[in-house]
Amino acid sequence: MKIAFIGLGNMGTPMATNLVGAGHEVVVFDLVESAMAALEKEGARRAESAESACAGAEVVISMLPAGVHVRGLYLGADGQGLLDALGHKPLIIDASTISPDDARIVGEAAAERGLSYLDAPVSGGIGGAKAGTLTFIVGGDEAGFEQAKPVLECMGRNIFHAGRIGDGQVAKICNNMLLGILMSGTAEALALGVKNGLDPAVLSEIMKQSSGGNWALNVYNPWPGVMEGSAASRDYQGGFLTDLMAKDLGLAWELALKTRAGVPMGSQARNLFALHSAQGNGGLDFSSIQKLYRAGEDD
Ligand code: NAD
């Protein structure tokens, strides 16, 4: 299948690489030259623009940072975006995490042009993207979902159909709000134990086997040196950035405000990650929220 892939960042690069590995003809585009060069080495073809990457493609996949980039790509700043260059009607799959409203705006504009659009945000992080074990949470019609499934299966293991366009984003936002709460809660508990003389590895093991066990503690431990291979053990480099978590918690807050849902814990997590980012940690993995609880430790 001929697939256009737009957005070769931390996630897009391994996802596009897996599509090449599965035997698809992949044409890539990113604003960053070196990202395209890396994919070329993996066997993809690079294009000079998003429009030329999509020429003749049966499926268009985008993996961009935020809603502003997705709207900018498909709708264009002046109302002339990529959607107007897709006369051959490929299936569009946007895997970025954006607001449900942004997904619906782009989805409706696609439908007006007779194009099928799915929002398909992912869970599983860079590790899952590399291993091809991502979870895709898809919003859109049944026919589009069935058409997308074999393509998504080249990059992921669990492919869920959440509902209509935008519903994939709602589910993803709920998941990441919970993850932000769990990560900050885990960091808080570890800091309290260490402050009181416990070994973080011993405390982690105790909580893992007790009722405090959770994904952040069990597989993404935020304390450096406790878990081999974790972002915490490599100085919080790479992984899922603090700024992206802050963005997702902002999306949860906006959604809650719009639908009059109470999210006191999500709001607290949003404040913590926003503060952590404001202190210059936006480019570190989100488990670096642990540092916020360790400030002044050596005083
Ligand atoms: P990233 O910032 O590493 O990559 C984004 C890429 O998009 C960059 O290479 C950038 O140059 C490119 N880009 C931006 N605008 C473009 C345009 N108009 N045309 C072409 N390329 C453009 O981000 P990421 O970590 O890969 O995340 C992508 C999305 O996936 C985000 O919405 C994020 O919230 C979500 N996500 C990330 C993770 C993670 O662990 N990093 C996990 C799950 C979901």
Expressed in angstroms and rounded, the spacing between residue 271 Cα and the centre of ligand 1 is 23
Pick from 57, 41, 43, 42: which is nearest to 6 by CA?
57
Per-residue pLDDT, averaged over 269-275, amounts to 98
Pick from 93, 77, 70, 73: which is nearest to 85 by CA?
73
| pLDDT tens profile 171-181 | 999 999 999 99
**Assigned fold of 2-163:** Rossmann fold (3.40.50)
| pLDDT tens profile 202-222 | 999 999 999 999 999 999 999
CATH number at 170-292: 1.10.1040.10
The DSSP line for 29-48 is E-S-HHHHHHHHHHT-EE-S
CB 144 within 8 A of CB 111: no
pLDDT band for 284, please (50, 70, 90 cuts): very high
The span from the first CA to the last CA of the chain, in angstroms, equals 60
Domains 2-163 and 170-292 belong to one CATH topology: no
| pLDDT tens profile 30-84 | 999 999 999 999 999 999 999 999 999 999 999 999 999 999 999 998 778 999 9
pLDDT band for 225, please (50, 70, 90 cuts): very high
For atom 30 of ligand 1, which residue has the closest CA? 96
| pLDDT tens profile 83-141 | 999 999 999 999 999 999 999 999 999 999 999 999 999 999 888 999 999 999 999 99
CB neighbour list of residue 289: distance below 8 Å, 6 or more residues apart = 183, 184, 187, 222, 242, 272, 273, 276
CB 293 within 8 A of CB 246: no
Q: Quick check: is 172 catalytic?
A: yes
Select which of 41, 89, 172, 291 is catalytic: 172
Query: CA geometry: angle at 136 spanning 47 and 1, to 5°?
Result: 40
Q: Where are the domains of the chain?
A: 2-163, 170-292
Whether this prediction's pTM lies above 0.90 is answered by yes
